[in-house]
Chain A
Amino acid sequence: MVTTIIEAIELRKSYGTHEAVKGIDFWVAEGSICAFLGQNGAGKSSTIKMLLGMTHPSGGSGAIFGHRIDRESDSLLIRQKTAFVAEDKRLYDYMTVEEIIHFTRSFFPTWDSAFERELLQRFDLPRKRKIRQLSKGMRTKLALLLGFARGSHLLILDEPTEGLDPVAIEDVLQIVVSLAAQGRTIFFSSHQIAEVEQIADRVLMINRGEIVLDASMDEVKQEYRHIQAVFPEPVEARDFQLPGIESLQLNGRVASLAVSHNLASITEHVRVMRANSIDVLPLSLKEIFLEKVKARP
Chain B
Amino acid sequence: MFRKPNPTSGVPIYVQVMEQIKHLIETGALAPGEQLPSVRGLAETLVMNPNTVIKVYRELETEGVLEIRHGLGAFVTSRRRSPKKDGIRDAQQLVHDMVEALRKEGLDEGQIRRLVEAELAAEFQRR
Contact = CB atoms under 8 A, between A and B. Distances in A.
Interface of A: 31-33, 170, 173-174, 177-178, 180-182, 194, 197-201, 217-218, 221-222, 281-286
B40 to A, nearest CB: 4
A181 B57 CA distance: 14
Contact of A32 (B11, B12, B51): B51
A169 to B, nearest CB: 10
Interface in B72-92: none
A197 B44 CA distance: 16
A198 B7 contact: yes
B48 A178 contact: no
A170 B12 CA distance: 20
Given A177-B43, A178-B43, A180-B43, A221 B11 contact: yes
22 contacts: A173-B47, A177-B44, A177-B47, A177-B48, A177-B50, A178-B44, A180-B43, A180-B49, A180-B51, A181-B40, A182-B40, A197-B7, A198-B13, A198-B48, A199-B49, A217-B52, A218-B52, A221-B10, A281-B10, A282-B10, A282-B11, A283-B10
Contact of B43 (A181, A197, A283, A286): A181
B102 to A, nearest CB: 49
B12 A221 contact: yes
B10 A198 contact: no
Nearest to A226: B10
B8 A199 contact: no
Query: Which secondary structure characterizes the binding site on chain B?
Result: helix
Contacts of A217: 12-13, 49, 52
B39 A181 contact: yes
Chain A interface SS verdict (over half): helix
Contacts of B44: 174, 177-178, 181
A1 B93 CA distance: 51
B89 to A, nearest CB: 36
Q: Which 10 A-B pairs have the closest CB atoms?
A: A282-B10, A181-B40, A181-B50, A197-B7, A221-B12, A198-B7, A201-B49, A201-B51, A177-B43, A218-B12
Contacts of B11: 221, 282
Given A181-B39, A217-B13, A221-B12, A194 B50 contact: no
Nearest to B52: A201
B50 A284 contact: no
B9 interface: yes
Nearest to B9: A282
Contacts of A221: 10-13
A222 B47 contact: no
B12 A177 contact: no
